[in-house]
C-alpha cells in the first residue's frame, strides 16, 4: 500500500502508462461493477477522471472514499489536486492545511505542502507559495518538478543568486539533467559567468545539437562584453534551430530558443513572432518571463 500511495501521489500518470485515461476508466468501471467499489479502485478512477477533465465524476468517487474513510490522507490529497485543477485555490488550501494539522506521514506531508504552494500560486501569493514549496522539497527531495516550480518563484521574486544555489542542490539530489540545464541558466542570470562558462565549454563538444549551449555561451559573452563572439554563436544557433523546427508541428521549446537568439541579436520583431507562436502552443516558465523582459526594450546587440 505504501508503494502504491507513492506512485499515486507523486507519479499518477504511471498507474497505467500504456493506456489513455478513457481506457483505464472503462477498465476500472467494469472492475468496480463486477467486484464492488473499494478505496483503491475509486481513487485510481478519480485520478483518471481528473486527468481527463471529468471533475464531477472524480469528485463523486472521492466523496465516496472519504465518506467511507474520513481519515484517508491520500483521498484528501487527491481531492486537493482536483480543486487545484478546478482553480478552486481556497478549497485546496483548506483541505491541505487541515491535513497538515493531523501530522500525516512523509509522503502525504510533502504532497500537502506542495499543493499549498500550487494554491498560493493561483492566488499570486508568491512568497507564501515559495515557503510551501520549500517545506515540500524538505520532506521529499527527489521531485524534479518541485525544484522547477520553486526556481520559477525565485526568478519572479528576484532571488537570483539563491535560485542558482538551490538548483545546484536540486541537481545533486536528483541527478536530473533538466535541473542541470536550469542551473546553468540560473548561473548566467546571476552573472556568475566563470562557473557557467566552464560547464558550457565542457558540454558543447559532447552534443551533436549545439544551439542551446551556443545561446548560453552567447549570453555569457554578452555579459563579458564580447559581442562579436556572441553574435557568431547566436547566428549559428538560429541556423540549427530553423532547420529543426517543423513547419506544421513546431516544438515550442525550439521557438523560445530562437526567439531568445533573435532578441539577443537585436531582432525584436522576429523574437516577438517566435514568442507569440510558442505561447499559442502552450509555452510557459522562466524562458517566457525572460523573453518578455527582453522584448520590453532590451536588445543586446544594436
Q: What is the mean pLDDT of each run of 10 residues along the chain (302 residues)?
A: 44 50 90 94 96 97 96 97 98 98 95 99 98 98 97 97 98 98 97 98 96 98 98 98 96 98 95 96 93 72 42
Judged by phi (left if over 0) then psi (alpha if -120 to 50, else beta), residue 124 lies in left
Q: What are phi and psi of 68, to 5 degrees?
A: -70, -40
Q: Are residues 23 and 100 in the same domain?
A: yes
Which domain does 117 fall in, by range? 1-8+18-140
Q: Are residues 92 and 196 in the same domain?
A: no
Q: Are residues 29 and 105 in the same domain?
A: yes
User: Is residue 60 a part of any domain in this protein?
Assistant: yes
Are 144 and 178 a contacting pair, CB within 8 Å? yes
User: Is residue 178 a part of any domain in this protein?
Assistant: no
**Cell numbers 499543493 label which residue?**
115
Q: What is the C-alpha to C-alpha distance for residues 103 and 113, in angstroms, rounded to an integer?
A: 12
User: Is residue 163 a part of any domain in this protein?
Assistant: no
User: Is residue 201 a part of any domain in this protein?
Assistant: yes
User: Is residue 173 a part of any domain in this protein?
Assistant: no
Q: Are residues 104 and 1 in the same domain?
A: yes
The CATH number of the domain where 25 resides is what? Answer: 1.25.40.10
Q: Which of 140, 172, 207 is the last residue of a domain?
A: 140
What is the pLDDT, as a whole number, of residue 19? 65
Are 65 and 42 a contacting pair, CB within 8 Å? yes
Q: What is the C-alpha to C-alpha distance for residues 148 and 112, in angstroms, rounded to an integer?
A: 18
What is the pLDDT, as a whole number, of residue 10? 41
User: Is residue 148 a part of any domain in this protein?
Assistant: no
Q: Is the dihedral of CA 255, 256, 257, 262 positive or negative?
A: positive
Q: Are residues 3 and 132 in the same domain?
A: yes
Q: Which of 140, 163, 181 is the last residue of a domain?
A: 140
The CATH number of the domain where 211 resides is what? Answer: 1.25.40
What's CA 220's distance to the chain center, in Å?
25
Q: Which of 100, 115, 140 is the last residue of a domain?
A: 140
* Torsion angle (degrees, nearest 10) of CA 102, 106, 109, 111: -150
Q: pLDDT digits over 184-200, tens only?
A: 999 999 999 999 999 99
> What is the number of structural domains in the chain?
2
What is the pLDDT, as a whole number, of residue 1? 45
User: Is residue 86 a part of any domain in this protein?
Assistant: yes
Amino acid at each position: 500500500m505504501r508503494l502504491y500511495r507513492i506512485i499515486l501521489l507523486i507519479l499518477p500518470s504511471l498507474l497505467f502508462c500504456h493506456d489513455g485515461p478513457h481506457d483505464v476508466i472503462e477498465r476500472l468501471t467494469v472492475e468496480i461493477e463486477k467486484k464492488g467499489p473499494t478505496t483503491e479502485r475509486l481513487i485510481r478512477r478519480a485520478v483518471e477522471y481528473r486527468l481527463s477533465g471529468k471533475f464531477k465524476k472524480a469528485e463523486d468517487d472521492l466523496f465516496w472514499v472519504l465518506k467511507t474513510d474520513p481519515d484517508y490522507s491520500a483521498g484528501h490529497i487527491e481531492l486537493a489536486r482536483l480543486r487545484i485543477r478546478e482553480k478552486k485555490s481556497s478549497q485546496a488550501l483548506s483541505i491541505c492545511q487541515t491535513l497538515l494539522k493531523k501530522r500525516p506521514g512523509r509522503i502525504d506531508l510533502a504532497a500537502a505542502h506542495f499543493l499549498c504552494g500550487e494554491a498560493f500560486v493561483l492566488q499570486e501569493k508568491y512568497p507564501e507559495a515559495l515557503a510551501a514549496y520549500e517545506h515540500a522539497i524538505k520532506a521529499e527531495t527527489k521531485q524534479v518538478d518541485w525544484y522547477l516550480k520553486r526556481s520559477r518563484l525565485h526568478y519572479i521574486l528576484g532571488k537570483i543568486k539563491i535560485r542558482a544555489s538551490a538548483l545546484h542542490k536540486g541537481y545533486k539530489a536528483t541527478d536530473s539533467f533538466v535541473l542541470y540545464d536550469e542551473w546553468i541558466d540560473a548561473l548566467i542570470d546571476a552573472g556568475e559567468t566563470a562557473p557557467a562558462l566552464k560547464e558550457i565549454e565542457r558540454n558543447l563538444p559532447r552534443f551533436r545539437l549545439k544551439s542551446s549551449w551556443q545561446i548560453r555561451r552567447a549570453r555569457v559573452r554578452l555579459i563579458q562584453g564580447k559581442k562579436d563572439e556572441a553574435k557568431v554563436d547566436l547566428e549559428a544557433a538560429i541556423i540549427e534551430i530553423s532547420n529543426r523546427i517543423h513547419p506544421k508541428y513546431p516544438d515550442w521549446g525550439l521557438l523560445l530558443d530562437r526567439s531568445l537568439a533573435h532578441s539577443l541579436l537585436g531582432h525584436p520583431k522576429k523574437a516577438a513572432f517566435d514568442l507569440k507562436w510558442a505561447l499559442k502552443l502552450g509555452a510557459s516558465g522562466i524562458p517566457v518571463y525572460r523573453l518578455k523582459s527582453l522584448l520590453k526594450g532590451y536588445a543586446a546587440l544594436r
